[in-house]
Amino acid sequence: MTASPPSDPPALPESDEAVAAAVAETLAMEMPAGCVPGVAMNARLLAGHWAVLREARNG
């Protein structure tokens, strides 16, 4: 049995606050204000990696 490929992640919002809020909602947790810039930066970094991996897989 082969696993179906995961779908593309949703587009990230523009603002750091909106990105961090989306991550917090996904994880069902509160996001401390001091974590917002780092969470947003890492979410964008992971989205970039995701795009590279999808491109490599799809050729």
Domain map (residue ranges) of the chain = 34-59
Q: Collect the ranges in the chain with pLDDT lower than 50.
A: 1
pLDDT in the model for residue 51: 85
pLDDT in the model for residue 10: 67
Q: What does pTM read for this prediction?
A: 0.73
Question: What is the per-residue burial (b if ≥16 Cβ within 10 Å, else e) of 17-55?
Answer: eebbbbbbeeeeeebeeeebeebbeebeeeeeeeeeeee
pLDDT in the model for residue 20: 96
